[in-house]
Amino acid sequence: MPNRLARETSPYLQQHAHNPVDWHAWGEEALERARKEDKPILLSVGYSACHWCHVMAHESFEDPAVAEVMNRLFVNVKVDREERPDLDQIYQLAHQMLAQRPGGWPLTMFLTPDGAPFFGGTYFPKEPRYNLPGFPQLLERVAQLYRDHREEIGRQNDTLLATFERMHPGAPAHHSELTAAPIDAALRGLKTSFDSRYGGFGGAPKFPHPAELEFCLRRSASGGDGAAERVATYTLERMALGGIYDQIGGGFARYSVDAQWQIPHFEKMLYDNGPLLRLYSDAWTATKNPLFARVSAETAAWAMREMQSPEGGYYSSLDADSEHEEGKFYVWTPGEAQALVSRDEYAVLAPHYGLDGTANFENTHWHLNVAHPLGAVAEQLGKSEEECARLLESGRKSGFSPPPRTGRRISTPTWTTTPFFSPR
């Protein structure tokens, strides 16, 4: 029998409508039940295109034995972070304060009946692994913590509330003059965190950060700042040649699990690709780099081909999973590629995309990156670069393309909040 979530309009909540878990949507009904039964609340926050949300659902929420523990010990509440970004932001911040580490999805928070968080995490496996406890055992321990340590939980909640209060901006003491100092400080910070070897900011996992790159590009254009231009254009080049960009189908995945932009978390979000399409178009206008023009055209074509609904609107995201496997329709074996193109086309495609090297995805498959520039491939083959470019393009168009996508497209609005990398 479906649970309460069958009455909800959120695609994510409806995905859990047939779980054996006695789910509630967020609301007074759940809070009142928790108060009446004096049970802690298990709050699970996710969204429809989230790979690790699916993993935790298949492992735990669809398992009757795990559901029995959840139903016995907790009032269980599901939240779609795209439907309730306000709740997601509150409990993401609470998780960061409690755990002293980034949050993300799925977000798993344990609350008192009045909604105050006292413990939390993100993905928990059904059995202990990734240096994480098994979810059923964790549930028993958290329920005991709630029963035996009410005073400590109360003091912790007071500290959290005081911290939230301090985060609220106070009224300004006086009128301040507008200066360029904050802009200059922001630019210095971005230059400091810039990865001069691989592009982007910081280390793995690595996100595109289109707003920051656009800021650098605009500061370069307005002030002639060559260092700011390099931050933007070098990062855009590395992304376009890496695996975060779909070398065959176009469009960008949400982030790279490594610092080199090679292996992505395969979900594609409209709220990433929209700003990136604009950014690559602006970068082409500023630099006339043909790579940026090609990426702009291919990303626009991908969005219209795969993300536009028959009614004319655009879906917000494309699931990372295909047939219950992350990235299945984005990875290859050399034999699969060879079977789709001519011998001359494969002679160019293989070294260009790294198919003649070591498997880079789970030691068994190849996710395409530009491993060698086309000029180097042409020199190796004794052909002109123009001929190699023609063979590359004909290979991509004649059959070297992904099978039709069966990943879920989600039509609810998307919202931006703290990014997170879950363990593979």
**CATH number of the domain where residue 28 is located:** 3.40.30.10
Residue 407 has pLDDT above 70, yes or no: no
- pLDDT class for 400, splitting at 50, 70, 90? low
Contacts of 100 (CB under 8 A, 6+ apart): none
The CATH number covering residue 371 comes to 1.10.10
Nearest residue to 16 via CA among 48, 41, 51, 49: 48
Quickly tell me which residue has 């979810």 as its tokens: 135
Digit-coded pLDDT (tens) for 217-275: 999 998 889 999 999 999 999 999 999 999 999 999 999 999 999 999 898 999 999 99
Tokens encoding 254 = 């949400």
For residues 25 and 76, give the distance between their C-alpha atoms in angstroms, rounded to a whole number. Answer: 9
Helix locations, 100-180, DSSP H: 135-148, 150-167
Residues 157 and 197 grouped into a single domain: no
Residues 75 and 28 grouped into a single domain: yes
Nearest residue to 56 via CA among 102, 121, 125, 120: 125
Pairing mode, strands 107-111 and 117-121: antiparallel
Residues 255 and 336 grouped into a single domain: no
* Beta bridge partner(s), residue 317: 269, 410
- Provide the 3-class DSSP secondary structure of residue 132: strand
Compute φ and ψ for 410, nearest 5 degrees.
-110, 130
What does pLDDT average to over the chain? Answer: 89
Over residues 11-37, the mean pLDDT reads 96
Domain assignment of residue 45, yes or no: yes
Quickly tell me which residue has 């039940």 as its tokens: 33
Domain assignment of residue 173, yes or no: no
Residues 324 and 310 grouped into a single domain: no
Residues 185 and 253 grouped into a single domain: yes
- pLDDT class for 412, splitting at 50, 70, 90? very low
Quickly tell me which residue has 């029998």 as its tokens: 1
Over residues 356-381, the mean pLDDT reads 95
Domain assignment of residue 424, yes or no: no
Q: Which long-range contacts (CB under 8 A, 24 or more apart) does 166-175 make?
A: 167/93
Residues 309 and 328 grouped into a single domain: no
Q: Which domain holds residue 285?
A: 180-314
Compute φ and ψ for 102, nearest 5 degrees.
-60, 155
Tokens encoding 138 = 């964790």
Of the residues 167, 199, 225, the one at which a domain ends: 167
Can you give the pLDDT at residue 131? Answer: 84
Residues 307 and 337 grouped into a single domain: no
For residues 308 and 315, give the distance between their C-alpha atoms in angstroms, rounded to a whole number. Answer: 6
Q: Which residues of 387-410 are buried (b: 16+ CB within 10 A; e: fewer)?
A: ebbebbebbbeeebeeeebebbbb
Domain assignment of residue 175, yes or no: no
Over residues 294-300, the mean pLDDT reads 96
Residues in the chain: 424
Domain assignment of residue 151, yes or no: yes
**How many structural domains comprise the chain?**
3
Higher pLDDT, 192 or 323: 192
What DSSP character marks residue 290? H
Can you give the pLDDT at residue 404? Answer: 45
**Percentage of the chain exceeding pLDDT 90:** 73
Q: Which long-range contacts (CB under 8 A, 24 or more apart) does 5-8 make?
A: 5/78
Residues 390 and 306 grouped into a single domain: no
- Provide the 3-class DSSP secondary structure of residue 119: strand
Residues 146 and 267 grouped into a single domain: no
Residues 8 and 148 grouped into a single domain: yes
**Percentage of the chain exceeding pLDDT 70:** 92
Task: Give the DSSP per-residue string, 276-309.
Answer: HHHHHHHHHHHH--HHHHHHHHHHHHHIIIIIB-
Distances in Å between the alpha carbon of 366 and those of 281, 322, 328? 29, 16, 11
Domain assignment of residue 247, yes or no: yes
Give this prediction's pTM.
Answer: 0.74
